[in-house]
Amino acid sequence: MSEKMLIMLATIKNGYLSKLDKVCVPYSENNLKILMLLYKDGFINGYYFNNTSIGRKDIVVVLKYYRNIYLFNYKILSKPGRLISCTLPFLYKKYHAHKFVMLSTTQGFLWLKDAFRLGLGGTALFVLYLR
């Protein structure tokens, strides 16, 4: 799990806690892939690109609220210095009760339910919780 991914998750969570409409996260291909999955599963309202004046490319994330309740909290499982690579039976035993566990697999980033369906293990990155 890269530092930019950790920054993105912390920025999104802090945006929800501060009741912001949108937040700006650093651009990376991995961040973009994770944002696509978050959007597809309804954790965020959308995202778009923003070029800053110093030539840096950022992603603006539009946050989603439901009746003033934010839908995003997370727990980091793998850190840059401590990756947790897991087989499918271990993942099922440890995380089957959690609905949204993000994995990095040979087929890209997948939620745990999709990895079960495809029979893939991988590196457990983080768990998302609904609040």
- Taking the domains of the chain in order of start, what are their residue ranges? 3-69, 73-129
Kindly report the CATH number that applies to the domain delimited by 3-69: 3.30.1370.30
Q: What are phi and psi of 28, to 5 degrees?
A: -160, 160
Give pTM, 2 decimals: 0.82
> Is 80 or 23 the better-scoring residue by pLDDT?
23
CATH for 73-129, options being 3.20.20.10, 3.30.1490.10, 3.40.30.10, 3.40.50.2300: 3.30.1490.10
**Inter-residue contact 80 to 54 (CB < 8 Å):** no
Whole-number pLDDT of residue 29: 92
The Cα 113–Cα 67 span in angstroms is: 27
Residue 1's pLDDT band (cuts 50, 70, 90): low
Per-residue pLDDT band for 94 (boundaries 50, 70, 90) equals confident
